[in-house]
Structure 1
């Protein structure tokens, strides 16, 4: 269903119901920047907003950390300064995203009500002067925050200059050991399990005399205590995530009492083992934060650290887009940061590359953090669009300006959202549940295992094939995807096994990896041979699994090639008619299968029982599966990404060498050339397929 109301100056489209879209298709995307009026002398605001508009920005972002200015005393609100900032932004046709300030309560609040501060397990409270130090579990804080948010919404909820709301800032899982958190945890458990008998069964408390007779006996678990009940810990992480999700929902409901025509989102950090991301049912859509160069990744080549991991933005796009069809990037690095391990300068062109990478996934907006570089506070040395003088654009600022200009060029050429059929034919889903990842991560069995890295081996291969990818949940219709990858999906039930079997029987091509199907949905191993519920599905038994120390890797051989592994290997015993695609070499089970494949109905199932060190086996298995399915793929080198959206092709080069892309002769090149330099981008318009 589509309902569009055009707001000409910014191209934002919104409607009060979550079912409708909020953005004009022919606007493609829009560009904005954070601004903190409270950080700068008011005499500079007009100059700054004028410069922002001149550089091509279409919206700005206010009040994220401004609670102390919005409510300087308890119950006393001051919106006059913010009114003046909104008016000046509007003078230059800049729309505004308004924010709730719940990450930074004012000092008067935390001194009068110290119970609102988070308490760690040892009993020490966090203190004023930082951010994200209040507890979402503290009932007074939840209620008082909503009072402040309600006043803000009454003031701005009908203001057409305000296009939407961001709740909190980079909300985290609420881990607090205060009294309210413990009380709410006990109630959460009671709501989930109904009675203590059910909880004892789910947690397996007969083990080590852990049985409870009343919910009041249950404390918040110490995750550092050796041997602490795994399922109590797992439920505690679920509870902490739920506290964050429900607090965001409460904020959204408070805003909607006064606002019907403004969208509501929050800016999540892409973490793939937390459950509050996407769980807040009251958000209209999700947005995320992404930083690329901060000393965490070497990238590709000697200077790759100046560009970052080429899958970092791509995976966030594909993950968040699957949560809500609309998504945006609320914080995108404009240059050097101050808070990383090693705060290197990005490569010239890197910021522009990241912007196009975000756009390529379907983002509806890209927002720079921040417009002016701060000159005091914790984030000194953090770049902005403008440098410390508040006048001179930084290199990244100029790249944002160029991107905004290029988007306006694409808007004039937009003719629809058609993409090449060959691209659509590769459409692939990755079945992913953060609860599975969290469960594995707290019980890895080996220091060599990395859940996210395991998923990336499959994801990276798919992107090298030029495949569009969605991360999906179990309730999605699998049949819309020619290829379905199920990596390390530990917890299953009969319904999921049947759904996977039906998918393959009806023509789907299913690839499943190791660590799948070991447990039921309560996290218990089956009272049966290891992972038995998936035996019929994969056409093989699993004899046992092995884990190798880092100094003693072994190999798997497939198609006359050897692949090294250490972290996880399942030794398979295939049924008659199941093909063997790879075998172990180098230990007492040498010659036993590691990878098996079988046809079933109109489709196929491939099981990869090993996690290799560099992912090349996983890539070769995927390629073979695509070939058998008759799906044509590309072979892009690491660092090269190609996507399509809105009738445009976008090629990006994160590698350390130029790359020449082959394109049909009838495409129209709009930006760049077929030879794409490092940090380069090529944009072309596709012909109707």
Structure 2
């Protein structure tokens, strides 16, 4: 972890005349940029013909950038296989779920399972790593680009089919075991050989959920394997330089925890305005949030992903939105001050580097309407002025180390897949649920860690477990032994690890045994009351037997919260105000301090510093409970306002 965060930028020297490179590099450094990412889409320029490399241009770019004082993140260019490679191996192209082969003409047009492409990926990775592995200007690496982007995690091709069968045989050992674990006696789906098993698409009605779940696990393992192959080569030829991958926001198709086991840096690409719109269409619609935060973003989405990815390694933001983008349904201009606020918010959550995408707006091709720090004519764009401001500010403020939070929110990719495969209601959305819980802690003034199932749970005071569908006794035992206060549910522990209903739908010690579920449309919530607060259970409402104490009740005569000798259980998905009130009580009973924040004001603690951000349209005042010296900003914050308070 760097005590002095830095700024970076994504640069594409192959897009610009060579006589611009020197002035570009000098301008980057002058504007406070210290890192530059290059070459992630440059395979056709590095190797224009099979095994005929052109290193001259990239050597020159590396020298120019490095001599200007910039540290380089070198990338493997495997996200964009060149046309000549497709001609050699046309079956390397991925196939979508409807059986249509993907075409050349954009990016990410490969199957992770294709053995020939894996070898080509390793070959080009080794060529780049041998060339630049010991270059003093190259100080970090990135594998590929945005694994799984454009729905490319899974390929429904012959390569995937054969590898899936091999994967199943290793996992289950015998076809009899697979039939038992999947419950294939249902609908006479039993197999006599692993070679009989197809991919779970194009069936008459839905395929067995256990079949889908196994394919999700397999697909995730293929991504891990692909990444691991590249990391091994980079570590061999470029030792002691950190390796990263740039994940995305709200992307859950593979297990990022497993992929990150081979990485040093867990980076992600932050585009607040596009993600705000995406969440409206794929999860719960919130027109008020959309209209009021249209050109600044969801006040919790970026922070959530900072906390998610910093739980997997050293945190970087590899691509930070600097202006309008090109890929959302609508592409507004960010509010003045938003780019600065997003950057500081990342540093508040322990980001070492925030790198803007991109240096200069491209005048052609798919992303020509995507803003950069510079306009096409090389004049500064709005984002460059805010980046320069941040570069000066970070020189004046020393950031303390980030400490382990007192609250943990348990996250799991497999649990997410289970809710997607067997949703019961189309309005159930795992990331939306996680964001609701995350928000309920933050609006009570809390800072938290987002952790995976293999984390060390000791020293936490409060552990929240929303919708960990297949939470088993081993994980639950480690959580309870931590001594923390526990709040689980809804939809926790209701499936086995192989996607079956367990014999005993009960996590002993939480005071509730689920017997049935009311899976509801968002528009038909169930009225409940808890400690005098009237509210609703939305989308997911559980019914069952209370074996401990209970608080609150709904019109269905079922409790809101139950408590046993090991923790509490939340018997549904509460509305925003009710969840905030329940979380406040949980925090107080765990011995934590709460402060109710104005609607769009958020705070993040880093050591003795408190970072405040205002995403709302109205000017707000930081609550009087927070005292100390303002290092940046002041107690009154306008929209996109930022304040840093050194607490006393």
Normalised by the length of structure 2, the TM-score is: 0.94
- Equivalences for residues 554-573 of structure 1 within 5 A: 554-573=526-545
1:417 aligns with 2:393: no
Aligned partner of 2:153 in structure 1 is: 174
What's the offset of the Cα at 1:475?
2.6
Tell me the alpha carbon deviations over residues 590-635 of structure 1, each in whole angstroms, 9 at most, x when there is no partner.
Answer: x33232234x3xxx622110113x3222221111122223322111
For the structure 1 residues 71 and 549, does the alpha-carbon distance in structure 2 shift closer, same or farther, using more than 3 Å as the test? closer
Moved more, 635-644 or 351-360: 635-644
| 2:305 corresponding residue in structure 1 | 316
Q: Which runs of 5+ in 1 are unaligned?
A: 1-22
Report the CA distance between 1:46 and its aligned residue.
1.1
Cα shift at 1:637: 2.3
Q: Are 2:420 and 1:458 aligned?
A: no
Take 1:541 and 1:24, find their aligned partners in 2: how far apart are those partners? 47
CA–CA distance in 2 between the matches of 1:167 and 1:335?
Answer: 26
What SS is found at the alignment partner of 1:484? strand
1:349 aligns with 337
- Would you say 1:580 and 2:542 are equivalent positions? no
Check the 8 A contact 1:137/1:180 in 2, yes or no.
yes
Mapped partners of 1:554, 1:148: distance in 2: 57
Matched, 1:380 2:365: no
- 1:137-536 counterparts in 2 under 5 A? 137-172=113-148, 174-222=153-201, 225-271=204-250, 273-280=252-259, 281-294=261-274, 295-296=277-278, 300=289, 302-324=291-313, 326-390=314-378, 392-411=379-398, 416-417=400-401, 427-503=406-482, 506=483, 508-528=484-504, 531-532=505-506, 534=507, 536=508
Change (3 A) 1:95 1:496: closer
Could you say what secondary structure the match of 2:375 adopts?
coil
In the alignment, the residues of structure 2 paired with residue 623 and residue 686 of structure 1 have an alpha-carbon distance, to the nearest angstrom, of 22
In the other structure, the counterpart of 1:9 is none
Answering whether residue 519 of structure 2 is matched by residue 547 of structure 1, we say yes
How far is the alpha carbon of 1:388 from its aligned partner?
1.4
Quote the Cα distance in structure 1 between the aligned partners of 2:322 and 2:15: 19
Q: Secondary structure at the match of 1:485?
A: strand
Give the 3-state SS of the residue equivalent to 2:335 in structure 1: coil
Once the two structures are superposed, what CA deviation does each residue of 1:662-681 show, in whole Å capped at 9, x if it has no partner? 46897332211111111000
Deviation for aligned residue 1:220? 1.4
Q: 1:623-651 CA deviation, whole Å, 9 max, x = no partner?
A: 11222233221111232111122543211
Tell whether the 8 Å contact from 2:246 to 2:268 is kept in structure 1 after alignment: yes
Whether the 8 Å CA contact 1:608–1:618 is kept in 2: the answer is no
- Residue deviations 1:42-99 (CA, integer Å, cap 9, x gap): 1111111111111110011110100000001101111110111111112210111101
Are 1:125 and 2:101 matched, yes or no?
Answer: yes
Q: CA deviation at 1:430?
A: 1.2
Secondary structure of 1:538's aligned partner: coil
Match of 2:573 among 605, 611, 620: 611
RMSD, matched Cα: 2.0
Q: Could you tell me how far apart the structure 2 residues matched to 1:299 and 1:149 are? A: 47
1:581 positional shift: 1.4
Alpha carbons 2:561, 2:568 under 8 Å: kept: yes
TM superposition shift of 1:273: 3.2
Paired residue secondary structure (1:562): strand
The question of whether the paired residues in 2 share the 8 Å contact of 1:538 and 1:605 is answered with yes
CA 1:337–1:299 in structure 2 vs 1: closer, same or farther (change >3 Å)?
farther
Q: Report the alpha carbon displacement of residue 181 of structure 1 after superposing the two structures with TM.
A: 1.5
Aligned residue in 1 for 2:593: 632
Of 64-73 and 475-484, deviating more is: 475-484
**What is the Cα deviation at residue 418 of structure 1?**
7.8
State the aligned residue count.
635
For 2:643 and 2:480, the matched residues in 1 are separated by: 41
Aligned equivalents of 1:125 and 1:666: distance in 2? 60
How many Å separate the matches in 1 of 2:96 and 2:291? 41
TM-score (norm 1): 0.88
Task: Report if aligned partners of 2:309, 2:315 keep a CA contact under 8 Å in 1.
Answer: yes
- Alignment partner of 1:478: what SS? coil
Q: Distance in 2 between matches of 1:549 and 1:671?
A: 45
Q: Which residue of 2 aligns with 1:6?
A: none
How far apart, CA to CA, are the structure 2 residues paired with 1:316 and 1:552?
30
Between 447-456 and 364-373, the greater mean CA deviation after superposition: 447-456
* Cα displacement (A) at 1:549: 4.1
Residues in 1 aligned to 2:226 and 2:157: alpha-carbon distance in whole angstroms: 17
Query: Could you tell me how far 1:231 is from its partner in structure 2?
Result: 0.8
Question: Is the 1:67–1:102 Cα contact (8 Å) retained in structure 2?
Answer: yes
Q: Residues 491 and 519 of structure 1 are in contact (CA less than 8 Å); yes or no, is this contact kept in structure 2? A: yes
What is the Cα deviation at residue 299 of structure 1?
6.9
Change (3 A) 1:224 1:379: farther
Q: Could you say if the C-alpha distance between residues 45 and 225 of structure 1 is closer, same or farther in structure 2, counting changes exceeding 3 Å?
A: farther
Cα distance in 1 for partners of 2:272, 2:198 equals 39
The aligned residue for residue 613 of structure 2 is 652
Residues 138-193 of structure 1, C-alpha deviation per residue, up to 9 Å, x if partnerless?
A: 11111012111101111100011001111111111531122221111111111111
For 2:584, which of 595, 609, 623 is the aligned residue? 623
Is the Cα–Cα contact under 8 Å of residues 249 and 269 in structure 2 kept in the other structure? yes
Q: CA deviation at 1:101?
A: 0.8
Q: Secondary structure at the match of 2:458?
A: helix
Is the CA contact 1:116–1:141 (under 8 Å) kept in the aligned structure 2?
yes
Deviation larger for 63-72 or 232-241: 232-241
The 1:468–1:516 alpha-carbon spacing in structure 2 relative to 1, beyond 3 Å, is same
Give the Cα–Cα distance (whole angstroms) in 1 for the partners of residues 31 and 434 of structure 2: 39
In structure 2, what is the Cα distance between the partners aligned to 1:465 and 1:275? 32
Distance 1:72 1:543, change over 3 A: closer
Partner-residue secondary structure (3-state), 1:479: coil
Cα offset, 1:551, TM superposition: 4.7
Aligned-partner Cα distance in 2 for 1:387–1:328 = 25
